[in-house]
Structure 1
Amino acid sequence: MPCACHSFNLTLSDMAHSFVKAISFFGIVQRIYTLFAHSTKRWKILVDNVPSLTVKSLCNTRWESRIKSVKAIRFQSPQIRLALLELYNSSGDDANIAKTKSEAESLANSLASFEFLLGMVIWYDILFSINIVSKKLQSKSMSIGVVMNEVQGMITYFEKYRIEGFESSLNTAKILALDMDIEPKFPIKRRITRKRQFDENENDNNDEEIQSPEESFRVNYFLVVVDIAIASLKDRFEQLEVFDNVFGFLCDAKRLKSLDNDDLRKSCTSFMTTFTHNNFSDVDADDLFSELKVLQMTLPNDLMSAFEILEFVKAADCYPNVSIAYRILLTMPMTVASAERSFSKLKLLKTYLRSSMSQERLNGLATLCIEKIMLEHINVETIISDFASRKARRNIFI
């Protein structure tokens, strides 16, 4: 089953590569960072004009993290534009002064475009909403039911945003443009007309509907991004929906207790059919149904996750089929974020300065970093005393 966080990441990738203007938007964001990060003098100009949030480079793998890059420009567009104009007017000893001035002027003109400001507001809203859900899905105790609820919530959000989002984003972009002394107006393209033939009527050319620049941006930019987001979410989480149909009734105590006899028996039969091979099944549907009926009565009224229900079942030691079902459920991780964090810690531990570290020491340090929460509840003084007592040299004098 694909990782839920990676699926959200690929959804954003589909949106960003859907058309040329989206690609160009993120290209401008990266160019702003590259221009100022090229030298300390340029970065000093940026810091003098932008005291709070600094521009950040785009990440090629974690697309939801691009919210940090867009946020710095979204809330500091006037200051960043002033920094670009100051860099353009500065007379430094840069060897590529002509290239620097040209790049600064180009980026300042891009920030002065109302289309760019409106696209920036739209992308910030999209990245912010997806980033919140992506952070939540990285939890260790994530279950299928919670993931499906979050996905359905995102689809509902984009469907509502498709109807109401453009007007709100347009109003926000107009306020931002007025603060930057920019006219909130879309560029008007020249209308292309063709010569009318002798057998055509005068009203034939009026049959084609002429879109306004605002409507053209909404149809060719805004709706394209949102529609691809909705389609990509439905397509990439289709397999997860199949798993939810099989394991959904076991996700939490509230959902399990809400099932009546017919729905519960139907879910047990579907579960047994899924895990049946050559007339051999891991569980018996009738026994699983009977055990779950008793479990519905004995479970506490508290909100319990699948792992907590399994602990309760193991403590009771009288629900063999339910125990097997929950163990199968919990062997299927919704995300691999925890495993990837282990590799991230290894990159921090074994650096170029620690290249000669032994495997045993590396494993020990990695375990301490990965299990940091468990480490906080360990008495370090007791461990040190025990270690010292075992390793102390004892000289026996006769």
Structure 2
Amino acid sequence: MSPKKQDSGFKKREKKKKQDEEDVHLRKSMAKWIFKKHDNLGNAIVENLDNINEANEENTNCVNEEIGDIIESENEININEKSDNAFNEPNLDVDIYDPRVWDGLDAKFRDLLVENGPKRELNVEYPLDKLGRHFSSNFYMRVLSNGEKHDRKWLVYSKHLDKVFCFCCKLFKTMPSRSLLGSEGICDWKHLSEKLTQHENSKEHLINLRTCVELRIRLSKNQTIDKEIQELIKQDTQHWKQVMLRIVAAVKCLAIHNLAFRGTNERLNEDANGNFLGLIEMIGEFDPVMQHHFRLIQDKKIHYHYLSHKIQNELIQILASKVKDAIIEIIREAKYYSVILDCTPDASHQEQMTVIIRCVDVSNTPIKVEEYFLEYRNVVDTSGFGLFNELKSVLTSLSLNIDNIRGQGYDNGSNMKGKNIGVQRRLLDINPRAFYMPCASHCLNLILCEMANSSIKAKSFFGACQCIYTVFANSTKRWNILLDYIDGLTLKSLSTTRWESHIESVKAILSQVSQIREALLKLVEISDDAKLSRDAESLALGELSNFEFILSLVIWHDVLLRINVVSKKLQSEDMCLDVAVKQLEGLISFFENYRLNGLNSAIIDAKKIAIDMEIEPVFVKKRKLSRKRHFDETFNSRQCSFSIEE
């Protein structure tokens, strides 16, 4: 059998060149597949590869090496995706500077490690092994034969594993490492010095060290193979940072001014798309960043524009969480605090409990007392037991100690202030220092309720005020008729719980009583509704033409205005107990003086209004007849009618 003929040198070079070309083509195809998920960014790096002069053997080898690293990194990711310890996404709970997770790192985190370098903790209490030995920071220094010392920057200690590793070999090994420093690590402290010397002189370590240094230089000079893609990624990242800054600023602006975010649609450059999109559109008129962002949306180059209602809600929640954390930190720094609770039904008739914390803010100068609203809580059980359990749940979720409560304030409901089973009693059983103070403003409102309900005339007066508002408010057409006559305050409805509405309603009627009467008379003329005409005529010719009703307007205005001023001060955040007592004492003094001199002053003011309205300023006297006298007068009147007919 004749021996096989050997190829000539020319044919060998041609085969090698052809093999290299096929290899490069294969690696380009793999690179396209890898970067397919990056859309245009992947094409940029492939175009960069096409521009490389493959005739230059050195550049070709460099390209092959770099693409090989990319493919290897992608293969590592695919393999690690199947394992439980895969490091596919950034995990804030994992320390990437710990060598125990380096086997699962992708190229992005590997570049980050190379760029920043390994981290060392010098002041560490190293644990002892079975022989009573431990790692020492002296191993970081290499002592040469001439006495010089060099830092082993590649040596890394893992405090979680109590082992040492080689930074370069652990990250850049291309095959199973012969040295344990590049794989499992070493904890043989007795022979560590010898193994370190043997490792740093090995060929494998020198190759990996050179690869690490070259990559660090390329990263610092931005000369990596994916330079273009990295530039595009940085530009894209910077664009989104600027966009998010403007979106967050818009969310903060609307939240601070308590404005609604959304309208009837969520499309740009359309009517009724809400305050948020309107504000973003206004920014886009002057800002090139948002203009570029709008062009990307219109050209459908991006599918996620971060302007939807879901993003708005998420940003609101994030900002609220940050504000809440800052408030809780202030409360913890103050240590002692008071709780204020109040419950009210919302539009869906679910009971909502408002949680407010009052404390001394010692974080700023000057130190002052602050009240912070924390949250609403849906309450199912409104008994004292249920509300107290809800309070404990809130304090637990906020990590606040219930023993640090020094005050509690609620309204005058029996479930709150009950001395046996109320919330204040249950809290005092746990914390005797939680001094209970009923709401002074609510007590004042209760007094007003008693004043209004104790008199038939007061009920009739406020009923007439509400009827005047109802006549106009039930129809837009009627309301527009009213607006044609008045040019000041609009009419307000009365509320059974918010007594501030009473002063607003009385003030609006008193300041424009003549114009309101004219509007009612106009409504009588043009209305086709018989009942509406009858009600409007009754109000115009009855209450609004009665001197007694006008006098009641003046008196209630004086009383409610004075009470409202005190109520506002009692609800202020910086109100102190001694100041509150003085305010209430001043209100009592006002009533005492008004009882002596207020009526005469009110009559004088009421007469001026009555004269301007051409109403006789006198009180209508109603005679009260006995049954016998009433019968006699009725009988005599009937006799007179009979005689006239005869």
Task: Please give the range of the TM-score, normalised by the shorter of the 2 chains.
Answer: 0.3 to 0.5
When Rg is computed on C-alpha atoms for both structures, the one with the higher figure is: 2
Higher helix share goes to which structure? 1
Using the size of structure 2 for normalisation, the TM-score is 0.29
Higher strand share goes to which structure? 2
Using the size of structure 1 for normalisation, the TM-score is 0.47
